[in-house]
Amino acid sequence: MSGQELVTLNVGGKVFTTRSCTLKQFPGSRLTRILDGRDQEFKMVGGQIFVDRDGVLFSFILDFLRTHQLLLPTDFSDHLRLQREALFYELSPLVDLLNQEHMLQPRPALVEVHFLSRNTQAFFRVFGSCSKTIEMLTGRIAVFIEQPSAPASSSNSFPPQMTLLPLPPQRPSYHDLVFQCGSDSTTDNQTGIRSVKCQTSRWTTAVSLDTASSSPVINLYNIH
């Protein structure tokens, strides 16, 4: 196979076409063995070499092979997974680059909170640049809903006791979560989500909605 010959790779369903010399820059790499036919795990099928790996991360690897530079988005957070892919393809220069301490340091995740107050309800939507941050927040946010613990007796003038039941936040996508606080004033049933707690390593932040007044009031407080 000549160095100028075009090669098509199908990596995890994403198709890449480049020159063979681009992929064979490092003689000891697995990519070189694949193109030379010395790796029996990968074969040409329909004019494409199928590689059952992450196609999104391979785009960064191919860019590195083309430019000899590793240029990643500012919000990129999958350094360890990219390093794992570089190890799979046995690209030592890229592995060494990812091993550098500054490349593996965690980057700040951008988090945006949208808040909407409507009648006796408050709605929260949290967007995050890193899906792992949203996953962590989902595990730390506890939403509690009030429900009667037992039906009220007709002969009993006392209101029924209310029980707080945990309710997990909703995850519309990998990068956001939503939850609400308050009661549904559109129905006679006053059962509703009364409080939200977010547990961190040092304190618990709680959010409650005061629906006693005509204008709902959001209360934020820390429980150390």
Residue at 138 is within a domain: yes
Overall number of domains in the chain = 2
Please give the angle made by the CA atoms of 23, 28 and 30, to the nearest 5 degrees: 55
Same domain assignment for residues 62 and 131:
no
Same domain assignment for residues 125 and 214:
yes
Same domain assignment for residues 163 and 118:
yes
pLDDT digits (tens, 9 = 90+) for 30-65: 999 999 888 888 888 888 999 999 999 999 999 999
The range of the structural domain enclosing residue 213 comes to 111-150+158-223
Same domain assignment for residues 186 and 138:
yes
pLDDT digits (tens, 9 = 90+) for 188-209: 444 454 555 555 444 444 454 4
Residue that finishes a domain, picked among 35, 69, 104: 104
Same domain assignment for residues 115 and 88:
no
Residue at 163 is within a domain: yes
Confidence of residue 223 (pLDDT cuts 50, 70, 90): very low
Residue at 1 is within a domain: no
pLDDT for 153 beyond 80: no
Q: How far apart are CA 64 and CA 120, in angstroms?
A: 54
Same domain assignment for residues 32 and 14:
yes
Residue at 80 is within a domain: yes
Radius of gyration, alpha carbons of the chain: 27
Work out the angle between the directed axes of helices 55-67 and 79-88 (0-180°, nearest 10). Answer: 70
Query: What's the CATH code of the domain at 78?
Result: 3.30.710.10
pLDDT digits (tens, 9 = 90+) for 12-21: 999 999 999 9
Same domain assignment for residues 73 and 92:
yes
